[in-house]
Amino acid sequence: MPPIFARAAKSAAWPVLALSCLAFGNASAQGTYPNHPISLVVPFAAGGPTDVVARSLGASMSKTLGQSIVVENRTGAGGTLASTHVARAAPDGYTFLIHHNGMATAPALYRKLPFNPLTDFAYVGQVADVPMTLLGRKDLPPGDMPAFIKYARENGDKVNLANAGLGAVSQLCGMLLQESLGAQFTTVPYAGTAPALTALLGGQVDVLCDQTTQTIPHIKADRVKLYGVTTLDRIQALPDTPTLQESGLKGFEVKVWHGVYAPKGTPPEAIAKVNAALRAALKDPVFTQKMTELGAEIVPESKQTPEGLQTWLQTEVDKWGGIIRKAGVYAD
Ligand code: MLT
């Protein structure tokens, strides 16, 4: 950008920033932050696994903050539309984003990403780690994972795999699955795994890799075929379910992690208050019990901090960047 335009763009942004700081400054001086509802943006469809975590977390955090946290589902482009929205939102302490591994995979997956996860956000902290499950529609022929492996290798071209778009963990898990099996499925993208699971339940797609925060109730109600969990070890919430690694996919591991972000420039006082509310929620028995029932594990205290999230994000950007570039998967 020629310097004159860069200067103009910068000066145009100043009033917005100054006004939001002024507004926050007044509220903070009176000790009233937050003095109206806070928006928590979810990058995927309502009712899905990220939404489930966001709504339970928001309900618990709002008890500490004394203000409601309103969940806003902004779907599209594998979660990148929501991240772009929050990166560009006023840094006034009233807009936050909850996102998962997709925040770290986006820079390698999207060549024209309109934000940088490492420089365009303020970090609040991590929340919970969530295993994934590999599910088939109820009447898919294979009865277990070894049978599914054989079926997928012989019928890969006939298998429809649902996901939530490029950058979703369901896509990441599906990509690793096809690579491990040496099979190529037809992928069917949805705005989140809530509609993807509805399609699986309705028999419109064959397979879905999805988080336990959405799938456990459907597994317990026997509405789907469960082929395995994606963690290296079995999980407490589904103790009789073999891991994919146990069933023959050596080293197969996908674990989902969640972080809470704000636009860069959000006042440190707001970040500190929201972080305190986050840490209180991660000790709140209502929230923790729900997460445990849904297979999720609260992160250790060292990850519940802004620094803990930032350091983890950098590690994940480096890790997935290498894997994705090697796989040659990207959107222009
Ligand atoms: C969702 O909330 O729909 C999921 O997290 C999407 C995904 O990443 O698979």
Average pLDDT over residues 13-33: 50
- What's the CA-to-centroid distance between 3 and ligand 1, angstroms? 40
pLDDT of 20 strictly over 60: no
Confidence of residue 185 (pLDDT cuts 50, 70, 90): very high
**Residue bearing the bigger pLDDT, 219 or 1:** 219
Between the CA of residue 166 and those of 102, 138, 172, 192, what are the distances in Å? 9, 26, 8, 11
Distance CA 176, CA 188 (A): 16
Average pLDDT over residues 215-241: 98
> Using a 6 Å cutoff on CB, does residue 122 contact ligand 1?
no
The predicted structure's pLDDT at residue 328: 83
pTM here is 0.89
> Using a 6 Å cutoff on CB, does residue 165 contact ligand 1?
no
Ligand 1 test: best mutation among 40, 44, 99, most atoms within 8 Å of CB?
A: 44
Distance CA 235, CA 131 (A): 8
* pLDDT single digits (tens) 59-95: 999 999 999 999 999 999 999 999 999 999 999 999 9
Q: Are 164 and 251 in contact (CB under 8 A)?
A: no
For the CA of 191, the closest atom of ligand 1 is 3
Q: Residues near 18 by Cβ (< 8 Å), separated by ≥ 6?
A: none
- What's the CA-to-centroid distance between 277 and ligand 1, angstroms? 24
* pLDDT single digits (tens) 281-323: 999 999 999 999 999 999 999 999 999 999 999 999 999 998 8
**Considering the chain, what is the average pLDDT of its residues?**
91
The predicted structure's pLDDT at residue 30: 44
Distance CA 280, CA 240 (A): 32
Tokens of 147: 């049978």
Q: Are 251 and 117 in contact (CB under 8 A)?
A: no
